[in-house]
């Protein structure tokens, strides 16, 4: 991946952020691109949409997932895939990444368009989490996998209680996602129960306002609701990205 054209922003002290993350960039363009939101590109004279942080966020998400998987497998060789997947889901979740981004002060360094700036973009959960993931990619592209691993463990996994990594609560994640967008609260409806009492399967439908968003099954109502919430959250996030493009 190319770092794109030169992105010089004299108003910001990039070294301050480098000090916070514990990494000095050989090519600062990677850092600047990781913090460049699409709105900034659209309002600038550069006009090159591929110089925003979207591709880097995609790459950083993959790198973070890989590093989380390696860390968990090394620490818990006896755990099964299902347990590891749930622990990994937390480590890469917005619930875990947002406080990290806030602690590093990433919002102060975001390059935003005027509209996004006025709407409080520097404090928006999605923008902060995306920028943090893009920052993982920036360190990787600038210094390689070892540098990215050092950054992730120093800044993102630092302070994690590995023996008590929580499982992601997708219902809470969905609730927060909808609240941020002033959308109606989610409603979970059991539409079917099947099977004998000791092996019953519940089918739950997720409704948001008048819309039926997702449907999932589980051996308990709570499990089915969590699965439906996960499906719904993923679908809403995908649709949001498509509308922005």
Residue 2 falls inside a structural domain: no
Residue 200's CB is within 10 A of a number of other CB atoms, namely 13
Which pLDDT score is estimated for 172? 84
Cα–Cα distance between 227 and 184 in angstroms, integer? 19
Q: Which domain holds residue 112?
A: 14-164
Q: Is residue 1 part of a domain?
A: no
7 domain-assigned: no
160 and 175 together in one domain? no
Say if 134 falls within a structural domain: yes
Are 212 and 153 within one domain? no
Q: What is the pLDDT of residue 121?
A: 84
Last residue of a domain, one of 164, 184, 219: 164
Whether 150 and 237 map to the same domain: the answer is no
Q: What is the pLDDT of residue 220?
A: 82
**Amino acid 244: pLDDT:** 53
For residues 97 and 211, membership in a common domain is answered with no
Among 123, 138, 164, the domain boundary falls at 164
In a domain, 8, yes or no: no
Distance (Å, rounded) from C-alpha 100 to C-alpha 125? 11
Closest of 153, 169, 144 to residue 75, by C-alpha: 153
135 neighbors 106 (Cβ within 8 angstroms): yes
CATH value at residue 54: 1.10.1520.10
pTM, two decimals, is: 0.69
Percent helix, strand, coil in the chain (nearest 5)?
Answer: 60, 10, 25
pLDDT of residue 80: 84
Q: Is residue 236 part of a domain?
A: yes
CATH number at residue 196: 3.30.160.20
Burial string for 55-78 (b: 16+ CB within 10 Å, else e) reads ebbebbbebbeebbbebbeeeeee
Q: Which residues are annotated as catalytic?
A: 61, 133
Same domain, yes or no, for 142 and 209? Answer: no
- pLDDT averaged over consecutive 10-residue blocks of the chain (245 residues)? 42 82 94 92 61 92 96 92 84 90 94 88 89 97 97 94 81 88 94 85 94 90 87 84 54
> Given this model, what pLDDT does residue 216 score?
93
Same domain flag for 28 and 83: yes
- Tally of domains in the chain: 2
Q: Residue 11: its pLDDT value, please?
A: 44
Q: Within a domain: residue 4?
A: no
Domain edge (last residue) among 164, 184, 214: 164
């Amino acid at each position: 991946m190319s770092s794109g054209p030169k992105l010089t922003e004299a108003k910001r002290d990039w070294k301050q952020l480098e000090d916070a993350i514990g990494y000095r960039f050989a090519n600062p363009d990677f850092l600047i691109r990781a913090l460049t939101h699409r709105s900034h590109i659209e309002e600038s004279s550069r006009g090159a949409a591929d110089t925003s942080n979207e591709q880097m966020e995609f790459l950083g998400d993959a790198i973070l997932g890989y590093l989380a998987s390696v860390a968990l497998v090394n620490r818990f060789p006896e755990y099964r895939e299902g347990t590891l997947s749930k622990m990994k889901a937390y480590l890469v979740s917005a619930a875990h990444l947002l406080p990290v981004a806030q602690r590093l002060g990433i919002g102060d360094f975001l390059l935003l368009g005027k509209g996004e700036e006025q709407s409080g973009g520097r404090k928006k959960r999605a923008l902060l989490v995306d920028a943090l993931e893009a920052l993982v990619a920036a360190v990787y592209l600038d210094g390689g996998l070892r540098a990215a691993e050092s950054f992730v463990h120093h800044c993102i996994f630092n302070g994690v209680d590995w023996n008590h990594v929580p499982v992601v609560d997708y219902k809470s994640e969905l609730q927060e996602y909808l609240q941020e967008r002033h959308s109606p609260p989610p409603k979970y409806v059991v539409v079917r129960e099947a099977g004998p009492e000791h092996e019953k399967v519940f089918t739950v439908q997720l409704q948001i306002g008048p819309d039926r968003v997702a449907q999932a099954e589980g051996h308990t109502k709570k499990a089915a609701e969590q699965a439906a919430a996960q499906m719904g959250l993923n679908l809403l996030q995908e649709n949001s990205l498509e509308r922005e493009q």
